[in-house]
Amino acid sequence: MIDPSSEVPRGDFAGLLKYGRQDALSGFLVFLIALPLCLGISLASGFPAIAGVFTAIVGGLLLPWISNSELTIKGPAAGMIVIALGAITELGEAHGAENAYRLALGVGVAAGVLQIVFALTRSGILGEFFPTSVVHGMLAAIGVIIMSKQIHITMGVMDVKGGPFELIRAIPDSVARLNPEITLIGALSLLILFLKPLINNHYVKMVPAPLVVILVAVPLGLWFDLSTEHTYSFGETEYQLSEKFLVSVPSNIFAAVQLPSFGALVTFTGWKWVFLFALIGTLESLLSAKAVDLLDPWRRKTNMNRDLLGVGIGNTVAALIGGLPMISEIVRSKANVDNGARTRFANMYHGLFLLAFVALVPALIHRIPLAALSAMLVYTGSRLASPREFQNVFRIGKEQLIIFVSTMIGVLATDLLIGVIIGIVVKITIHLMNGVPIESLFKPYVVVETLPDGRNVVRAQRSAVFSNWIPFKKQIEHFGLELRQNLVIDLSETQFVDHSTMEKLHQMQEEFEREGLTLELTGLDTHRKLSEHATSARRRGLSQVRRITIVIEADQKDRFVGELLRLGATGYTVSDCHGAGRRTLHNPEAVAKPRVRLEVVVAVERFEAIMNFLRKEVHGDAHMFVCAETVEVIRVEHY
């Protein structure tokens, strides 16, 4: 267990020597995870298997000397599969399949240079623009696309092509045509990946699941003799086996190096993929780097522009030798944190181990069945598009689920760029329906004042939403972090504060806290939450609560008041009253006892408990009246 109060490790030359043992061990463990994933991502992207390994080697050996991101692992990622495969496919259709790979490398070089330009112009903050629900919707769509493609390979059916919907429709046909021995390898691999996290044993958890898959799949491949072309019978059907079901790699790593072709850069198609590589890669890398900063036990902060510069240079170099696009990869980075890495040189060791393996024993890679790698990608896709993702988004707010699903369907039906644009348009439309003034969509209206105690107050007006967050954030950083002052954010004059802004403000509170400062949010007590989630969107206006009116005999007042307070009522009103009910009106001799009218206003979450108590009190002979209604109040926190 790492003690976060210990000396903060630094990725300098002294840190390289001091923490070499911990970083080398973590780098080796990450290498065991990275090797099969790099191979699988490469093949799923339409690149040669070794391309992803090239990328991880470049990311490991080059990036620690440029980026200050201490615990991120750089390499190919599942989130970029759709872009890489799309580029290979479209460039192949336009220029011939035999030229597609080298043309895609040329696109990768241009995208890397564009990322360098982004970094030098300090555009790393652009990652702040994209709404959280849109990003998660895009990733969920990528997960569906990966699963729809790889599930066929897991069953040994290698000839299925088409878009996501065509691939999904083809699954029953692939089930009918599956190769039993290949399917056994794929099914066992999936079982390991899904079941291993459920085993609550310290020693089992120490072994990476991808390594277990390889240790099971390779012996099965040898047993089935996949390296030799032959047939076998199962039932009444004959099936073929051959090397096409194994990973194909050259015997000499230098023979795999491919130089890019820049012919696509004179076409619209080529530049479309350049911008997609650069923009989506930049966004994913920045989001991953930020996520790893939150996992860092010492809360070290990555310079996003410096990290983007490193990724841009790394992508340029990787594409020049035949590699895939590179980003800061969240799964391997989390494993790096969990394995006890101290500095960025764990990334370097992971690259060194990969280089040594492919240079010295490439033949071992050829023994890995493709079904095992495709199973890893099916598992990765299932996590990106997990039902839990839908549940998490729904908890934040119904409107977030609409944006999430719109983005996902948009990506599946069109492509990444159009799908993301659809998600953003849907989000802006919802904002306008919630009363966001058009003029404040892209421009924050901010007033800065200084309180008598020396604190600065940033008063946001009209709206605080994802599309005007970047300039709003700059004001917060300047008057707080740069001037080293505690800050108050007053949102009382905003018509609407969206989920993306609420989430980022909570993240900035943590950032201020790490710097020994405070960031206080005020003015939201006049806003209505769109869900009970802590970072839900807020709309200024009246909030709904429940008012319960009870008429009871006066001698019951104290008992009822005590029970209502116990059940969560924060106040009550009692007044004497008189009148007649049905029984009294039809019985002139009946004498009405003194009564009181008891009224409470409660938040929605407390309403049902109080009503359950009152239902038990109402019985056949009870002289009691109860009614409930929905009312609106200015400050729901008072209830």
Q: How far apart are CA 345 and CA 351, in angstroms?
A: 10
Q: What is the pLDDT of residue 605?
A: 82
- Summary mean pLDDT of the chain: 90
Q: How many CA atoms lie within 13 A of 458 on its CB side?
A: 24
pLDDT band at 580 (very low <50, low <70, confident <90, very high): confident
pLDDT, position 229: 94
Name residue 13's amino acid: F
Predicted confidence at residue 417, as pLDDT, reads 81
Q: Pick the residue with more confidence: 624 or 584? A: 624
- φ/ψ region of 606 (left if φ > 0, alpha if ψ in -120 to 50, else beta) reads alpha
More confident residue, 505 or 252: 505
pLDDT per position as a tens digit, 315-344: 999 999 999 999 998 889 989 998 999 999
> How far apart are alpha carbons 368 and 348 in whole angstroms?
25
- pLDDT digits over 479-505, tens only? 999 989 899 999 989 999 999 999 999
Confidence of residue 476 (pLDDT cuts 50, 70, 90): very high
Predicted local distance difference test score (pLDDT) of residue 620: 54
Angle (deg, nearest 10), helices 132-154 and 416-433: 150
- Model confidence, pTM: 0.81
In angstroms, the CA 20 to CA 342 distance is 9
The two three-digit tokens of residue 583, written as one number: 């029984």
DSSP, res 68: -
pLDDT score recorded for residue 115:
95
- Residue 37 pLDDT: 92
141-161 tens-digit pLDDT: 999 999 999 999 999 999 998
pLDDT in tens, 46-78: 999 999 999 999 999 999 999 999 999 999 998
pLDDT surpasses 60 at 1 = no
pLDDT at 621 over 60: no
For the cut 60, the answer to whether the pLDDT of residue 361 exceeds it is yes
**d(Cα 114, Cα 110) in Å, to the nearest integer?**
6
**Residue partners of 163: CB distance under 8 A and separation at least 6:** none
- pLDDT per position as a tens digit, 223-240: 999 999 999 999 889 999
The tens digit of pLDDT for each residue in 514-543 reads 888 999 999 888 888 899 898 999 998 777
Which single residue is written with the structure tokens 């696009």?
Answer: 325
Residue 127 confidence (pLDDT) above 80 = no
